Structure 1
């Protein structure tokens, strides 16, 4: 196994803890190499001091290769992980953040699943470690998923997993949060990660859709656990929204077919001429065609049926009174009495009309199990329409 640790201006102590935990808690015959990928850090102690530490580790573990990759400029998370994948030589590669510590027996369950099926991409369960006191908060196993804006979220496993009544069994997952292990060659065969992604965000959803539709699958493995140290802030930029929006549009253009406009809806952007440069996607489209990947409709029906396809949406936008600058608004808490208010572009004034005749006020939800606020005439004496969960 090759373990790739990606970092940007990480504390040296955190990187040392990650390396030490991997060495101490991975059987020596399973761990071939650790690849450190520095995405152009500015911290001085990640240069000479880290070099000294790596040299001491290699002296203590002569059979272990520790590879180093340093970017001359910041390339972002997806490109950094690709750099680590390219530098690896082992049959299986684990792509991890540098701010982690692995639990005992973390590697064996992941390797077992990949040995059974080289086309499966697996993820451990990662507990949260508070950055302010390093206390561990245990997380239960859950599927990794997303909404139409492509923000990551946890999701329940499919009903068949719960019917097994065995919480140690791997569960199928629509996506992957980013920390993963895979057969190194298989990952290359399906296109690794999209190097056209910028900074951070969306690359994991793109990988999840691609794996499922192009011949593989994704599993979360409960018996493998990693402690993930949360960060007070993301190192690349204070606001990830611009990068997330741009990357989400890129994923939609390549993989989502007739459903790609749902990403525009989620971000409140025009379907055409949104003014955001998503980069050249021609090679990714060629990859999809070459791999004979299934359509996104298949993914929605067979992998992630909880995601609402919104395929009966007739219209969306603000509902404005023709003679005034007033728009329908979902009002005040508890948000069940609609009002007319000065038109302004915020969530409470978004409206969506569906082919079923339902009119939703406020942001439409991405998932079938979530309820929207539907404009309803309850037929009461007041004749005042209300907003009710529907």
Structure 2
């Protein structure tokens, strides 16, 4: 039994409705306890009355929670997790997805065997102009890839390595995933709300599940994104990057600063609670993670030279 968290803010009302329809019509209605729509904060009428009227047909199955103020995507998901009272598993989806046939059971199966496991489906590309669907690029001959990043923390995909392929008896088995985009995690399944890349460091597993497919509508050309909430201030993404590397990356943070020197003097707030979490859970070093899990990233994105001096 799971709760689904589908956060939305500036979507057309038809987009989250399409996501919900794909879920309901893929025979999940008896398995899902709560599809939840925590709204990040919106003044759009079509995401209020029109959406409320439409979901009445499901007789209370879908719950909508509206935040009092504009929140970011991850904060909205965290609020949704707090509202999810019934599900034993949390499934996070973007509000512009279409789930595939039989996507749910393979996604949950690894968790039933190991409660420290988090899973991610294969994400297919949906063209926002004509809604055609095709596999993502950047994988191996079977279309399989692992999540990666360059040293400025931009999200990448790299082909599945021979080492990972050798761990599987057949191609349909889940395989180890070293990272997932924090802003794009449709289908990411958690027993706890965790920092995706660092699940491995704290004793968990992050797996890609080939038999689970979810289509995702990507940004159309020219879309500039949503500005951050006024109370957040400037450069929230860069500040979050700095918080991540300061808490989790150990000596590897120097490679991030070499790639993004403008962040070196950026104020990033109090991270003492995050550091305490890492200490309390005996999380492993980032060096261990790079050598054991993300060993293939440097083959595609070599370590940059560290800056010797800093200054204007």
After TM superposition, is the score higher than 0.5?
A: yes
Structure 1 unaligned blocks of 5 or more: 59-63, 194-206, 319-344, 346-390
Q: Quote the residue 1:251 is aligned against.
A: 244
Q: Quote the residue 1:279 is aligned against.
A: 269
1:23-58 CA-to-partner distances (Å, cap 9, x unmatched) read 111433322210011111121111111111121222
Please give the alpha-carbon distance, in whole angstroms, between the structure 1 residues aligned to 2:263 and 2:8.
Answer: 35
Q: Quote the residue 2:283 is aligned against.
A: 293
8 A contact 1:91–1:183 mirrored in 2: no
Q: SS state of the match for residue 128, structure 1? A: strand
1:312, distance to aligned residue in structure 2 (A): 7.2
Indicate which of 211, 216, 225 corresponds to 1:228. 216
Indicate which of 158, 161, 170 corresponds to 1:166. 170
Structure 2 unaligned blocks of 5 or more: 137-142, 229-233
8 A contact 1:26–1:107 mirrored in 2: no
Q: Quote the residue 2:76 is aligned against.
A: 80
Aligned residues: 290
8 A contact 1:121–1:217 mirrored in 2: yes
Please give the alpha-carbon distance, in whole angstroms, between the structure 2 residues aligned to 1:214 and 1:234.
Answer: 35
Indicate which of 61, 65, 74 corresponds to 1:69. 65
Q: SS state of the match for residue 143, structure 1? A: strand
Q: Quote the residue 2:148 is aligned against.
A: 145
8 A contact 1:105–1:224 mirrored in 2: yes
Q: SS state of the match for residue 32, structure 1? A: strand
1:295-326 CA-to-partner distances (Å, cap 9, x unmatched) read 111111111113448497474799xxxxxxxx
Q: SS state of the match for residue 269, structure 1? A: helix
- CA-based RMSD of the aligned residues comes to 2.4
Indicate which of 293, 306, 311 corresponds to 1:303. 293
Q: Quote the residue 1:111 is aligned against.
A: 108
Instruction: Tell me if 1:100 matches 2:97.
Output: yes
Aligned pair in 2 of structure 1 residues 118, 158: CA closer, same or farther (>3 Å)?
farther
Instruction: Tell me if 1:262 matches 2:265.
Output: no
Please give the alpha-carbon distance, in whole angstroms, between the structure 2 residues aligned to 1:156 and 1:165.
Answer: 18
Q: Quote the residue 1:2 is aligned against.
A: 3
Taking structure 1 as the reference length, the TM-score comes to: 0.69
Please give the alpha-carbon distance, in whole angstroms, between the structure 2 residues aligned to 1:120 and 1:161.
Answer: 17
Within a 5 Å distance, the mapping from 1:1-390 to structure 2 comes to 1-58=2-59, 65-88=61-84, 89-139=86-136, 140-163=143-166, 164=168, 166-177=170-181, 178-184=185-191, 187=192, 192-193=193-194, 207-232=195-220, 233=223, 235-237=225-227, 242-269=235-262, 271=264, 274=265, 276-308=266-298, 310=303, 313=306, 315=308
Taking structure 2 as the reference length, the TM-score comes to: 0.86
